[in-house]
Amino acid sequence: MTEPEEDLPVKRCTHCGEEKPLDAFPRDRASPDGRFRWCKTCNNAASREYYARKKATPDVVKPAKWVALTCETCGKEMHYRRSEIESRRRRGVPVPRFCSMRCRGMAQRREPDQAGGA
């Protein structure tokens, strides 16, 4: 037999203010009574609204993780993390201009004042 509704434990939804049986509330381990503070109906409505709003707003495009730099001597493409390049610029450290010591040496032999050498 089913028990009368008066004997079932009830809880008041903090969103809609209605008193409902505990079965109408989703589980929540962090709550003292083991149930979420909003009833399932209010919780589902809030979730639908949140995801509809999230879907309507355009996604923010993140900048690429890697930056491609070109060697000044041979034209070879070098890949560096964007965070490293930004950090170097913030600290005033020069950004890499050459792919290897060989290319740096070739540039120094051509133009000693501009290649960053002594």
Domain presence at residue 17: yes
Give the mean pLDDT of 38-52.
96
> What is the pLDDT, as a whole number, of residue 1?
43
Q: Mark whether 46 and 80 lie in a shared domain.
A: no
* Cα–Cα nearest to 13, from 34, 43, 33: 43
Q: Is the pLDDT of residue 14 over 60?
A: yes
Residue 86's alpha-carbon distances to 64, 66, 81, 96, in angstroms, are 13, 11, 9, 12
Please state the domain count of the chain: 2
Model confidence at 5, in pLDDT bands (50, 70, 90)? low
SS3 60: coil
Domain presence at residue 1: no
Domain presence at residue 93: yes
Residue 98: domain span: 66-110
Domain presence at residue 103: yes
Residue 46's alpha-carbon distances to 1, 12, 36, 52, in angstroms, are 35, 17, 13, 10
Q: Mark whether 11 and 52 lie in a shared domain.
A: yes
Model confidence at 85, in pLDDT bands (50, 70, 90)? very high
Domain presence at residue 117: no
Q: Is the pLDDT of residue 91 over 80?
A: yes
Regarding pTM above 0.85, the answer is: no
Domain presence at residue 24: yes
